[in-house]
Structure 1
Amino acid sequence: MLERYGHGGDLRTAEETFGFPARQFIDFSSNMNPFGPPDGVRRVLVHYADQIDRYPDPAVRGLRAKLALLHRVDEQSIIIGNGAAELIDLVVRALRPSATALAYPCFTEYGDAVMKAGGSIAPIMLSPDNAFALTESMVDASEAKFYMIGSPNNPTGQLVDPALILKLVYRGATVVVDEAFMDFIPEEEKVTLIREAAVHERLFVIRSMTKFFAIPGIRLGYMVGTPEQIAVLRRLQVPWSVNSLAQQIGEAVLEEKDYAARTMAWLQEERPWLIDKLEALGFRVVPGMVNYLLVQLPQLPGLTAASLQFEMGRMGILIRDASHFINLDESYCRFAVKLRHQNEWLLEALGRCLFKFREAGIR
């Protein structure tokens, strides 16, 4: 099982499982920008050796100032973290909800953070019949006072209607919205809740900087809330949790406007192309909106997410077994959207695997 530690992108486990060096795998199990880090990251790395003997800014003021300008919010409304995972854990530890509503399937870190803090989970089970969308009737049926919601959701790629989230806030609930993949949405400004979070004391928005800018080795994310709530979180945060290299890289990537435009143009062309090709192979694709696809496998004897992952791994291609997400069964996988030649390798390998399972079923 490649998801030994709960996530995709575990190249060490892939090496141990399939015997290839990490550099030989094409990794569709993690959802990174396939262009790799922008040029500004490399420029920072060249000069960083001369600064490594200095402590990082404990308040991360340079990056906070740039993010405040970008989102048009108060600098005091922003806290920077060692990846979105630290911030998910931090907000749960700070608010300590007795029960948290989670809409399954969702990012596993939500439930992990709740359980570590001694809380309980009030599950909302999303349905494949409406592409795993969170609906108003589901929200109305829930009596929870604390919600963690992914928008776009991982692994479905579905956006949640901002009005639906604000409805929860207005009726007295506290909502943490994970917008880790929001950068990939063309109309981001119309659907993000960052500015609302800066003024509503019961609303928090978390962002990741690692997915869009392909820097997962540098753990970097941020959260927006009211200045008063963010001050509470900051007092609980481990000192210097964001190192100076991450801070400098975060500032650098925010200047990469051409890189961002190229990424958006690529995704708008490549995503529908890949969906068409996958559907032609017999996969059912959940209609999300970002740089990964949740798919249901064709019905073939012996074909499961785990068996397909193993066969693909033997060919040097890693995919995510999505059956490890609560509320998904063994027929679901998740694929990242990558560059055209990489997507063609994915499709060719999938075709070979499906042929193998189909032939085995005939015999």
Structure 2
Amino acid sequence: MMLERFGHGGDLLTAQELFGIGAGKFIDFSANMNPQGPPACVSRILRDYAGTIGQYPDPASRSLIKKLAAHHGVSELSILAGNGAAELIDLTVRTLQPKVTVVAAPSFVEYRDAALKCGSAVRELALAPEAGFRLTMQGAQTLLATLRGEGLEAGDTLWFLGSPNNPTGQLVDPAIIRKLLIEGEQVVVDEAFMDFVPDAAAISLLEEAAAHDRLFVIRSLTKFYAIPGIRLGYMTASPESIGRIRALQVPWSVNSLAQQIGQAVLADEEYRKDSMNWIAEERPWLENQLQALGLDVYPGAANYVLFALPRGHQLNAKLLQQQLGHRGILIRDASLFNGLDDRFCRIAVRLRKDHLALLKEMKALLERKENLI
């Protein structure tokens, strides 16, 4: 059994079964959550929630959508709330029914899974390590020309692009996406980690999507605000597109607790500022420390870091994950992402004390001469 038995990080129950350590005792670098924990307003809402749990949630999430619309300066008609970004990914593919779905390699597995569930063929756009795993205009245009040469017309394909991309942390140049739109393509941009980007307003296409009939932008509230158990995401698209996607959504998809928490965290500017100050200091520090261990580090814009173990070393990603797991530290085996080999790992950016514990164990493992298997 592997740690990512369900395809994702943060599975503490599986970790407990694998390593024989209590689920609450791990330092979890396998899930990309804000390590500061939820804003204080979340605890207050949880204490008071018992008084409203006997009532149905608003099926249209109207108060939450009103807050989101004001927060981003877009029309309420252009926003849909969902049970996490994963639901919105699935709904969008089911609505558009593309013949072919283009995904970057490596990228979040949910894009591929959602496409295959709908009978869409999947084409990979390989991201080169020598280019830092950045999507290039040439790469996108080359694949588009290939698709056209195969007889696929505008509207037949759907491009799924993460910005920042998971697991690479790389942003997508908005010019590439705009070029695809000019060519008639449909594009979904997964901005689940955009809240961690300091200059997000200059990169995000959320506002553009609200007025474009072939652009869809998906966001998550669970990463930045450390509330993954709530399952809360949202998307922007043209009002017509939102209406079509909403028609496929199950009733009461977003529960009342999620709606209340979503509204509250959006208003917590102090938490946002503290989190941005933390990531601005901690991510580059961690990247530098990993490089000092002799690892190939791929600096990104999100709250996680992709790195590769030295070529020829006895450690590979799976073995490193196992060795660290037995020491109470969880990381992602990034070789499970299409496009990455068995040297690649991904870790979340956490607090300094957690980083020091990880770096100490990794240094010892990298320097060991005896067989680790």
- Identify the TM-score tier after normalising by the shorter chain: over 0.9
How far 1:301 moved relative to its partner?
A: 3.8
Match of 1:96 in 2: 97
- 1:1-363 alignment, distance < 5 Å: 1-143=2-144, 144=147, 145-356=157-368, 358-360=369-371
**Alignment partner of 1:236: what SS?**
coil
CA distance in 1 between counterparts of 2:181 and 2:44 reads 42
Kept after mapping to 1: 8 A contact 2:168/2:298: yes
How far apart are 1:146 and its partner, in Å? 1.5
TM-superposed CA distance for 1:299, in Å, is 3.0
1:22-41 Cα deviation digits (max 9, x unpaired): 11000000000000000011
Gaps in structure 1 of 5+ consecutive residues: none
Deviation of 1:300 after TM superposition, in Å, equals 4.6
Q: Distance in 1 between matches of 2:312 and 2:98?
A: 44
- Kept in 1, the 8 Å contact 2:287–2:299? The answer is no
Q: What is the CA deviation profile of residues 288-330 of structure 1, one whole-angstrom value per residue up to 9, with x for unaligned ones?
A: 1111000001235421000000000000000000000000000
| C-alpha distance after superposition, 1:30-66 (max 9, x if no partner) | 0000000000111110100010000000000011001
Quote the RMSD (CA, aligned, Å): 1.0
Tell me, in whole angstroms, the C-alpha distance in 1 between the residues paired with 2:299 and 2:170. 7
Comparing 11-20 and 293-302, the one that deviates more: 293-302
CA distance in 1, matches of 2:312, 2:33: 30
Alignment partners' CA distance in 2, 1:10 and 1:98: 33
- CA distance in structure 1 between the partners assigned to 2:312 and 2:367 by the alignment: 10
Shift of 1:353: 1.4
1:57 is paired with a residue whose SS is coil
Aligned-partner residue type, residue 66 of structure 1:
K
TM-score, normalising length from structure 1? 0.98
Tell me how far apart the structure 1 counterparts of residues 331 and 124 of structure 2 sit (CA, whole Å): 27
Q: Residues 189 and 217 of structure 2 are in contact (CA less than 8 Å); yes or no, is this contact kept in structure 1? A: yes
Q: CA deviation at 1:359?
A: 4.0
Q: Which amino acid aligns with 1:38?
A: P
Paired residue secondary structure (1:354)? helix
Q: Which amino acid aligns with 1:343?
A: H
TM-score by length of 2: 0.95
> Quick check: 2:222–2:230 contact (8 Å CA) kept in 1?
yes
Alignment-mate amino acid for residue 220 of structure 1: L
Distance 1:187 1:346 in 2: 29
CA shift digits 1:90-110 (9 cap, x unpaired): 000000000011111000000
The amino acid across from 1:132 in the alignment is F
Residue type of the partner of 2:113?
D
Structure 2's unaligned 5+ residue stretches are 148-156
Offset at residue 142 of structure 1 (A): 1.6
Task: Quote the Cα distance in structure 2 between the aligned partners of 1:282 and 1:63.
Answer: 46
Q: Name the SS for the 2:177 alignment partner.
A: helix
Provide the secondary structure at the position in 2 that maps to 1:49: helix
